[in-house]
């Protein structure tokens, strides 16, 4: 029929464009300098469970709107172009596509879109059958492929979707050729059909690879998001553990040592109450002073501030005070000295040196049975060294693993980027040397 041929040519061109709009294709976006589409950029907060996590997955209502509009456009074209005796059959087949989609196609898309299931095969087979009935009666039905070809790719996997897509293009070309009835019409329909089929195969395969790569990237992004969440949790737990260790070290180096000194002074005062009340009062005074300092340390610990002893003066003042207290508590000769040019250090560095000095003197009190102890702070151009030396009973470092105090000293110094050396031998005293960057 002559009135069908111009529309047939238009249908072929629309069929070619329909392949570019199949579900699973990425919408038009940025292109690289060579004209190829660039890979889609995943949003920062991509969730693996999102229903439309991929850019090519348009909401179903948009596709249904496309199907409906194209079908409505085809109906008047078929009604006006088909012969009277073939019009009713063609229109009936077109109308039947609506309940067929609602009853069979849509349930599949809702539950298993793009998967090869018996319902999907039955639905597409029915679509191809209805299309064949309508197109063989009215060749202008080929226009409907603008909607049906994307539907094939949405319902079936990419490779399987090629079969019904090629079948509908072949049916459309055959119908145009048959009703044209002229060698020129047959040649035109055959050439157009071959071109459309070739384009469908090539471009469908290209889009399929894009879908596959994009799906893999989406899966990788989801895995990275999950890994990032796991790392955040691990980091959170590590932070908790680090804070616990920090608090444990602070408590050990300040409150625990202070309580130990208070207990020792009170016990010593009890022993001197009758023999030497004056000595007992002096020891109780030292216990009260230690308790006040412990209270100040507890307050600064709760407030997350620097050491109360450092807030009250310089590092030299704090080290001198703890050295004098050791002398008063233990009744030994304790001296403090500095070498080099005194200067303020970073707060963290001063805390490390102070806590190391406190722990070293606490070990002298607990274990050394020394008569003399010397504390020396040495300033160099880029480093600071603290030495605590006693003449006590000493020990064999190879036989001692070290308690929490020694481990705490090493941990503090390591965090500050410094070094610590403990030298001792039985009956030869002990020396603790700490060097940290200034």
Domain chopping of the chain, boundaries: 2-25+55-230, 313-438
The architecture that CATH gives domain 313-438 is 2-Layer Sandwich (3.30)
pLDDT digits (tens, 9 = 90+) for 332-367: 899 999 999 888 888 888 888 988 888 888 888 888
In sign, the C-alpha dihedral spanning 288, 290, 296, 297 is negative
Among residues 209, 82, 57, 67, the alpha carbon closest in space to that of 141 is found at 82
Q: Could you tell me the pLDDT band of residue 22, with boundaries at 50, 70 and 90?
A: very low
pLDDT at 404 over 70: no
| DSSP label of 384 | E
Q: Which two tokens stand for residue 399?
A: 């036989």
pLDDT at 391 over 80: yes
pLDDT at 251 over 80: no
pLDDT at 26 over 50: no
pTM confidence score: 0.42
Q: Could you tell me the pLDDT band of residue 211, with boundaries at 50, 70 and 90?
A: low
Instruction: Report the distance separating Cα 77 and Cα 63, nearest Å.
Output: 21
Helix (H, G, I), strand (E, B) or coil at 84: helix
Lowest mean pLDDT among 27-36, 106-115, 138-147, 195-204: 27-36
Q: Which residues pair with 372 in a beta bridge?
A: 333
Across 56-66, average pLDDT:
71
Q: Could you tell me the pLDDT band of residue 8, with boundaries at 50, 70 and 90?
A: very low
How many Cβ atoms are within 10 Å of 121's Cβ, its own excluded? 15
pLDDT digits (tens, 9 = 90+) for 289-333: 878 877 777 776 665 555 666 766 789 988 998 898 888 877 789
Predicted confidence at residue 304, as pLDDT, reads: 54
Which secondary-structure segment (H or E) carries 127?
Answer: helix 118-137
Instruction: Report the distance separating Cα 85 and Cα 92, nearest Å.
Output: 13
Lowest mean pLDDT among 7-11, 371-375, 421-425: 7-11
Q: What Å distances lie between residue 400 and 145, 280, 426, CA to CA?
A: 86, 36, 12
pLDDT at 48 over 60: no
How many Cβ atoms are within 10 Å of 5's Cβ, its own excluded? 19
Instruction: Report the distance separating Cα 202 and Cα 224, nearest Å.
Output: 33
pLDDT at 54 over 60: no
Predicted confidence at residue 403, as pLDDT, reads: 60
Which secondary-structure segment (H or E) carries 420?
Answer: strand 419-424
Sorted by sequence, the CB contacts under 8 Å of residue 266 that are 6+ apart come out as 283, 284, 287
């Amino acid at each position: 029929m002559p009135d069908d041929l111009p529309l047939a040519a238009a249908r072929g061109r629309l069929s070619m464009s329909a392949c570019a709009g199949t579900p699973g294709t990425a919408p038009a976006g940025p292109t690289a300098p060579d004209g190829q589409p660039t890979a889609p950029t995943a949003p920062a907060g991509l969730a693996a469970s999102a229903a439309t996590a991929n850019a090519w997955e348009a909401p179903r209502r948009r596709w249904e709107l496309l199907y409906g509009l194209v079908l409505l456009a085809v109906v008047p074209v078929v009604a006006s172009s088909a012969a009277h005796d073939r019009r009713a059959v063609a229109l009936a087949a077109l109308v039947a596509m609506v309940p067929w989609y609602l009853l069979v196609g849509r349930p599949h898309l809702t539950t298993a879109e793009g998967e090869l299931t018996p319902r999907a095969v039955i639905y597409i087979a029915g679509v191809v059958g209805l299309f064949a009935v309508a197109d063989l009666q009215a060749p202008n039905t080929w226009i409907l492929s603008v909607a049906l070809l994307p539907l094939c790719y949405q319902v079936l996997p990419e490779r399987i979707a090629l079969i019904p897509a090629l079948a509908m293009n072949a049916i459309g070309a055959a119908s145009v050729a048959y009703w044209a009835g002229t060698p020129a019409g047959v040649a035109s329909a055959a050439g157009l059909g071959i071109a459309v089929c070739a384009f469908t195969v090539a471009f469908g395969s290209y889009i399929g690879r894009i879908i596959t790569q994009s799906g893999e990237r989406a899966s990788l992004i989801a895995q990275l998001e999950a890994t990032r969440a796991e790392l955040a949790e691990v980091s959170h737990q590590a932070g908790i553990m680090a804070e616990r260790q920090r608090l444990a070290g602070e408590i050990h180096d300040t409150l625990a040592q202070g309580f130990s000194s208070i207990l020792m002074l009170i016990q010593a005062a009890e022993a001197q109450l009758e023999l030497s009340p004056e000595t007992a009062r002096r020891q109780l005074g030292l216990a009260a002073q230690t308790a006040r300092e412990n209270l100040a340390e507890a307050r600064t610990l709760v407030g997350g501030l620097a050491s109360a002893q450092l807030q009250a003066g310089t590092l030299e003042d704090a080290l001198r005070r703890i050295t004098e207290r050791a002398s008063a508590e233990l009744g030994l000769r304790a001296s403090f000295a500095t070498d080099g040019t005194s200067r303020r250090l970073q707060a963290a560095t001063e805390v490390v040196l102070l806590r190391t000095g406190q722990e070293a003197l606490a070990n002298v009190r607990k274990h050394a049975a020394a008569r003399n102890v010397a504390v020396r702070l040495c300033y160099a151009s880029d480093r600071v060294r603290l030495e605590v030396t006693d003449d006590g009973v000493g020990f064999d470092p190879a036989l001692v693993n070290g308690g929490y105090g020694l481990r705490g000293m090493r941990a503090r110094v390591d965090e500050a980027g410094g070094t610590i050396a403990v030298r001792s031998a039985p009956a030869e005293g002990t020396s603790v040397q700490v060097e940290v960057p200034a």
